[in-house]
Structure 1
């Protein structure tokens, strides 16, 4: 049975509602201000789950947010024409798809291991097109990223037509914790360009600051790692020097690759800090990238041996980049989406 509400209770209830309405009216501006600030922060500042993925052109508030936190030990640098324009032509739909696939692949890897990812937009490369220095941008981009993240120890530069095939493996376990055993300090074992094996005044006892690979054409710069040191900044400055470029650009077929090879061939200070990783470790190539080379076991991708990274080097010249990326991505899904991977996270 419902009891009747007394006049006293009704009066008390009306007084409470009146006080609440009066409080809301007096503080309306404050509430609106707080709601506005909340939505601004929600849309501009990235969520904690994306804290290791960096935008190449963040807003002012985002810059402040990133600057306040600790930089990751490893930063992956991915250069892409995300805006839609290239240097000399517009991109195709397949090129857009390749970029989205590649960026997603690197982002997932970074989130898994706590690394950073910065995607650099290459549309500004039009400033280099008059002298065809587009491919030299990787040097300029690394220098810029080092300035943006001065506390990061290692930078891993990757071309867009690459895929990390074994996301379970961290770079510490794969390379950094066993660098002395995994890296070659000389070209004695593999020397496709016939460099002099020894030159005077090279000190191989120094820790390497540049980790690169070789293939049938020499140095492969589609995937390489550089440590954030004074030596590295000096190397980048000399490597980028337009004087050498202007003197040699008519005979250097591979441009920035030839420039680095020239430095390695003649400069002991540079050779002392450069080491070579096995090509299939961070830069495995698909069959056809180097023709039927007798050394194909050194650099052609082998899924049975769990090669870490694949690079569709030169796919735009006589091959199909999109088909190759799709094929390796299908293999990636097969290798990494097994039931025990999902249950145990391995």
Structure 2
């Protein structure tokens, strides 16, 4: 059995006690230490602000004091779409924003190559929305709309269409499968509009991440962080960010509890040439948005050609305002 040994004695004699320091000398040393720390702190902050990876929240706030309550986020792919096509998408967004006093946030897919890494570029939707939130910290809502979509009824504000008092209460799809047609996880049956921070829709097979409204706040940052987790980006989902979103909604009730699913035609009607529309999800005149689902990934389709008749219809509506 081993026992604790007594402290060893040092073979060297103990040093002689030093004389006590004067109070004046102690004050000098204390003042010097404070000054040195202040200099170090100033140099550190200067280095931090000089870093190309740092974005000051104070600068972001100052730059966006005129931001409206709603920011429309559009992610543009200059390699996938022609300049002529993107000009039409931008014109569509600018007219809608000007009509209702909203703010546009246009970003390029290539801006987020480093963040997305080896994952499909479609994941860029998440850092793009997060970037918009950082740039416009005073906005109340962020409306993401993919570039293969047009706002067809510019007279509908988000407030009258979705956000007005009592409006969402009527529209929310309760106790329905999150992932159609037969997911065992369903939307909450007793959810109220006060619980909601994310408004999204679904097609015949999945949730639709190409058109959604996200309320600014802690939940929005939490949700985007989870969605962009490297585990999901590197999992090789067949439909990348779409299946990542499907998974989160089914297995993270914290997110589902703050999400309202609304009928497809309220946020993302599909064009007649788009596959996978829900039972009542194909575009009809008067719908808010039309999407050309898959036109950017199907080699047999051409987004510019499919958009053209809808764009001309939109132009007539705009000219008639």
Instruction: Please give the TM-score of this superposition, normalised by the length of structure 1.
Output: 0.68
Structure 1: runs of 5 or more not aligned: 1-62, 342-346
2:170 — aligned with what?
Answer: 181
- State whether structure 2 residue 96 is matched by structure 1 residue 78: no
2:103 — aligned with what?
Answer: 116
CA deviations on 1:61-111 (whole Å, 9 max, x unpaired) are xx7896363321100001113xx4x3xxxx56xx21111000111001101
2:273 — aligned with what?
Answer: 288
- Is the CA contact 2:200–2:208 (under 8 Å) kept in the aligned structure 1? yes
1:263 — aligned with what?
Answer: 248
Q: Supply the distance in 2 between the matched residues of 1:129 and 1:265 (Cα, whole angstroms).
A: 24
Aligned pairs for 1:1-346 (under 5 A) are: 67=63, 69-81=65-77, 84=78, 86=79, 91=80, 95-127=82-114, 131-177=118-164, 178-187=167-176, 192-198=180-186, 204-205=191-192, 206-246=194-234, 248-249=235-236, 252-290=237-275, 295-296=278-279, 298-303=280-285, 306-316=286-296, 317=298, 318-338=300-320, 341=321
Q: C-alpha displacement at 1:334, in angstroms?
A: 3.1
Q: Supply the distance in 2 between the matched residues of 1:130 and 1:281 (Cα, whole angstroms).
A: 33
CA deviations on 1:260-297 (whole Å, 9 max, x unpaired) are 11111112111111111221112111112116x6x44x
Structure 1 pair 309–198 and aligned structure 2 pair: CA distance change class (3 A): closer
Structure 1 pair 244–309 and aligned structure 2 pair: CA distance change class (3 A): closer
Q: Supply the distance in 1 between the matched residues of 2:284 and 2:186 (Cα, whole angstroms).
A: 32
Structure 2: runs of 5 or more not aligned: 1-58
Q: Supply the distance in 2 between the matched residues of 1:191 and 1:122 (Cα, whole angstroms).
A: 27
Find the residue that maps to 2:85 and give its secondary structure.
helix
- Is the CA contact 1:183–1:277 (under 8 Å) kept in the aligned structure 2? yes
Instruction: Please give the TM-score of this superposition, normalised by the length of structure 2.
Output: 0.73
1:36 — aligned with what?
Answer: none
Find the residue that maps to 2:88 and give its secondary structure.
helix
CA deviations on 1:227-275 (whole Å, 9 max, x unpaired) are 11211211111111102333x21xx111111111111111211111111
Q: Supply the distance in 2 between the matched residues of 1:157 and 1:180 (Cα, whole angstroms).
A: 21
Find the residue that maps to 2:137 and give its secondary structure.
coil
Which protein has the bigger helix share? 1
- Is the CA contact 2:60–2:136 (under 8 Å) kept in the aligned structure 1? no
Q: Supply the distance in 2 between the matched residues of 1:262 and 1:210 (Cα, whole angstroms).
A: 16
Q: Supply the distance in 1 between the matched residues of 2:130 and 2:247 (Cα, whole angstroms).
A: 20
Q: Supply the distance in 1 between the matched residues of 2:144 and 2:61 (Cα, whole angstroms).
A: 24
Q: Supply the distance in 2 between the matched residues of 1:186 and 1:225 (Cα, whole angstroms).
A: 21
Which deviates more from structure 2 when the two are superposed, residues 205-214 or residues 233-242? 205-214
Structure 1 pair 278–64 and aligned structure 2 pair: CA distance change class (3 A): closer
Q: Which consecutive aligned stretches of 4+ in structure 1 deviate over 4 angstroms post-superposition?
A: 63-66
CA RMSD of aligned residues (A): 2.6
Find the residue that maps to 1:131 and give its secondary structure.
coil
Number of aligned positions between the proteins: 259
- Is the CA contact 2:153–2:287 (under 8 Å) kept in the aligned structure 1? yes
Q: C-alpha displacement at 1:130, in angstroms?
A: 5.7
Which deviates more from structure 2 when the two are superposed, residues 230-239 or residues 124-133? 124-133
